[in-house]
Amino acid sequence: MKLHDENWRGFASDNYSGVHPEVLQALAEVNNGHQTAYGDDVYTAKLKEVIKREFGEQAEVFPVFNGTGANVVGLTSMMPRWGAVVCSNLAHIHTDEGGAPERVSGLKLFTVEHQNGKLTPESIASQIYGIGDEHRAQPMVVSITQTTEVGTVYSPQEIKAIADYVHSQGLLLHLDGARLWNAAAALKVPFREFTTAAGVDVLSLGGTKNGLMGAEAIVVLNPKASDGLIYLRKLSMQLASKMRFVSAQLLTLFENDLGIRSATHANQMAARLREKLEAKLASGEIKGLRFTNPTMANAVFASIDNTVADRIRSQVKFYDWERSIGEVRWMCAFDTTEADVDNFVEIITRELNR
């Protein structure tokens, strides 16, 4: 049964894309025969080996269904009920998870202003106070996002500086890696270099935004930083009975560098989109557009008149980011083509010049 036009493309979210064909093929192969349920299967066992290879021998992996589940369950395992998380005021756990960290876990979020989506030791320090004060939720974890909510990328050195400060204050570092593959592709370094080696304690390993179908994972990099995940995952309704289908998808991203290849392509398409629009701005072919954040991965942030944005959106779907200043977000995915980008550029050009 097919109900949609498979040629339709949008730039609203990398979640709009389908499942990568290689992942679908892997699922078909995994589907044959029986395997033990709840993670006691050969695919989850293999995933554990691969995670140790990629992140270090101490690393443990807990596959889950979605990014919100990975964030909430992972953070819950890192602190007692009186704990609080310091995060950016743009953080997905703060703005886009329906209050799940606070309502499901009961933890408190302390937000700080970002700099191009990033936190710094100095900004984090503004919330590290009241330690031992029974009237204030206790800061115990700092959460950062890689790539950030505005598409920027932390360098390994930036993450290490944060981790060093966080640990010096007796706190732990969590990393929301919904687009971790895009960050690795942009940095051109192994995962371990900007996670384990940089001092990250627990991370959410994304997959859905890079061609998977409902497959994410919590990766514990510091065993002393997390407790009770085997219980928390179940009571948070994130334990898959047929886990082989979740684990096999994540495994497929690591095989033959599929995850990096897919993320690299998405990043390149975002760079193409920006470069073509920058060229038109430089030549005077278009006016009324400015870029609001660096394009470092697969996201382009720009500001245009809301009326123009609405006309473009009637032809190609994308989201407003901050409508009060005309800021929009354009996302590219593993299946975005050069023709998709070029067509979008021409629509933007036409509507800006109307």
Q: CATH 3.40.640.10 in the chain, residues?
A: 22-256
Please list, residue by residue across 269-305, b when 16 or more beta carbons sit within 10 angstroms of its beta carbon and e when fewer do.
bbbbbbebbeebbeeeebeebeebbbbbbbbbbbbbe
Q: CATH 3.90.1150.10 in the chain, residues?
A: 259-352
Q: pLDDT tens track of the chain, all 354 residues?
A: 889 988 898 999 999 999 999 999 999 999 999 999 999 999 999 999 999 999 999 999 999 999 999 999 999 999 999 999 999 999 999 999 999 999 999 999 999 999 999 999 999 999 999 999 999 999 999 999 999 999 999 999 999 999 999 999 999 999 999 999 999 999 999 999 999 999 999 999 999 999 999 999 999 999 999 999 999 999 999 999 999 999 999 999 999 899 999 999 999 999 999 999 999 999 999 999 999 999 999 999 999 999 999 999 999 999 999 999 999 999 999 999 999 999 999 999 999 998
CATH code for residues 22-256: 3.40.640.10
C-alpha distance across the termini of the chain, in Å = 40
Rounded to whole angstroms, the Cα distance separating 40 from 242 reads 10
Entry pTM:
0.96
**CATH number 3.90.1150.10 given to 259-352:** yes
Rounded to whole angstroms, the Cα distance separating 74 from 66 reads 12
